[in-house]
Structure 1
Amino acid sequence: MLGRFYLIVDSHHWLERLCPQGLRLAQLRIKDKTPSELTDEISRSLAVARAQGCTLVVNDHWQAAIDTGAEWLHLGQEDLDMVDIKAVRKAGLKLGLSTHTEEELDRALTYDPDYVALGPIFPARGKQVDYAPQGIARLGSWKARLSCPLIAIGGIRLEHADEIYAAGADSICVITDVLADADPEDRCRKWVEAAGSARS
């Protein structure tokens, strides 16, 4: 069972700060690193996450995820054009996929994903995207097509949490709402509390 709150970070330093606040599901999204730096950061992050009981999902870098013994991989639609999916599955990696349109969802389902992310629900705050906001109402129709968990992402604030969970999201993924907050630790704790309340 994936955590109900999902945070994207770019280094093990964030995990050291936020796992003690109750974070149990995180994605490591790294850009602009050399191969050795990338492998080192993934390894460090995996070590922190495992020690804290947090599931860590590696974004994009499928070969590095295999090499470091990661358990989870997240891929965008463009990544699917380059991944060796047989190697990923042979390594035992669980797979999460991004979707933004019905066509992308159709494609994602052919990979038998372990979760599907839908976004952006609202205008994205932490990443430039080429898709219009999906809105909360679309979560229900997406969920009806899935046999795996549905992740809501994109421009989501804590104040939206109850409505998004109620609409069918199994988990909510954020970046800016925690990492750009004046007190990330406190904001993370509040998200964990909101996710726990929504579980019942």
Structure 2
Amino acid sequence: MPHPDPQTALAQTLLNTHQSRFGLASDLPSDAPSGPETYQAAWRACRALGFIERDAHCLAQAWQHRAQRTGRADDLSWPEQPEDFGLGQGLDPALAFAPCPQALGLYVVAPSAEWIARLARMGVPTLQLRFKSDQPQAIRQEVRAALQAVRGTEARLFINDHWQIAIEEGAWGVHLGQEDLEGLDLTPLRAAGLRLGVSTHGYAEMLLADRVQPSYIAMGAVFPTTLKAMATAPQGVARLQAYAQLMRRMAQPYPLVAIGGIERSRLPEVLASGVGSVAVVRAVLAAADPQAEVDAFQDALQNALQDASCRSPRV
């Protein structure tokens, strides 16, 4: 049987090295986009590990950049240095959004101002109003009511999507998805001093989020969720850990929020990844006793963060 060519041999070695971490893998793709040998081998391995094409491209570029930087094309370790991904490079600090605490605590996403009011009274530290309507006046009334509901409490409230109304009504922050950022002039948001949270679903979207220097980055969906259709498969804890480790190595790390199907029983493994907060919807809103679930979640969150801090290696 003929020996594989050097690029295929390297791709197979990379796949074998990381398969146990990221789970079941498929066969190597037969070819890769044009590029240096290390890039092509890494791209093929990452595709076989289940990473979507644009994430495989980001990883392969990072592998190639590291090989050029270190002179070691035989380094089989997973890339985790921000400079190899281009993170944090060429950015103007004056364009960064207002900061958030590194640990945002329990973060509950709710569909109405009524829920926001209830959750604020329960002591939830971070909230997001995700109100769906195509009626501008209804949206404005709901945003206004939600903002009124958190006044006098310690809750931080983010408004999902409706950033123009959020500015006009004096919101503390907004949360946007990747599709919302496309072609959006962020100058009014920065000028208004609003905090900005951005959703990400993998390496490519983390790099795009970094370009706008948000207040925090959300990563998910970690586990399967029925609340919304997802363009990508659940990320899982292994990928979450890889994402968080990379982002925490930045000179100015972003607060990281894990989201997607997170139940209280899974807090230890999620927080051990290195994220500082978790966002939930159904785990609290669908609970038989939401107040009891919030209290239990916050106790478990505090304990899990303490345990994760004790176990985490320095980065």
Instruction: Identify which range, 139-148 or 3-12, moves more after superposition.
Output: 139-148
**Per the alignment, in what secondary structure is the counterpart of residue 237 of structure 2?**
coil
Q: TM-score, normalised by structure 1?
A: 0.94
Cα distance in structure 2, aligned partners of 1:145 and 1:67: 36
1:116 aligns with 2:222: no
What letter is aligned with 1:179? L
Aligned counterpart for 2:300 among listed residues 181, 194, 200: 194
Partner of 1:151: 257
Q: Which runs of 5+ in 2 are unaligned?
A: 1-100, 248-252, 307-315
Q: Which runs of 5+ in 1 are unaligned?
A: none
Cα distance in structure 2, aligned partners of 1:123 and 1:133: 6
Aligned counterpart for 1:9 among listed residues 87, 110, 113: 110
Name the structure where strand makes up a greater proportion of residues: 1
Contact 1:62 1:83 in 2 (8 A): no
Superposition pairs for residues 1-80 of structure 1, below 5 Å?
1=101, 2-80=103-181
Cα distance in structure 2, aligned partners of 1:138 and 1:115: 18
1:132 aligns with 2:233: yes
Displacement, 1:139?
2.2
Q: TM-score, normalised by structure 2?
A: 0.61
Partner of 2:35: none
What letter is aligned with 2:131? I
Cα distance in structure 2, aligned partners of 1:198 and 1:46: 30
Render the CA deviation track for 1:13-42: whole Å, top value 9, x for unaligned: 112222222201001101114111111111
Cα distance in structure 2, aligned partners of 1:16 and 1:27: 11
Contact 1:22 1:192 in 2 (8 A): no
Cα distance in structure 1, aligned partners of 2:167 and 2:114: 22
**Per the alignment, in what secondary structure is the counterpart of residue 160 of structure 1?**
helix
State the number of aligned residues: 200
What letter is aligned with 1:4? G
What letter is aligned with 1:28? L
Render the CA deviation track for 1:56-105: whole Å, top value 9, x for unaligned: 00111110111111121110011002532111111111111001121111
Contact 2:202 2:243 in 1 (8 A): no
Return the index of the structure with the highest Cα Rg. Answer: 2
Aligned counterpart for 1:168 among listed residues 262, 269, 274: 274
Q: Structure 1 vs Structure 2: percent identity of aligned residues? A: 38
**Per the alignment, in what secondary structure is the counterpart of residue 51 of structure 1?**
coil
Q: Kindly indicate whether structure 1 or structure 2 has the higher relative contact order, using CA contacts under 8 Å at least 6 residues apart.
A: 1
Contact 2:223 2:260 in 1 (8 A): yes
Partner of 1:184: 290
Partner of 2:22: none
Cα distance in structure 1, aligned partners of 2:225 and 2:194: 28
Contact 1:117 1:152 in 2 (8 A): yes
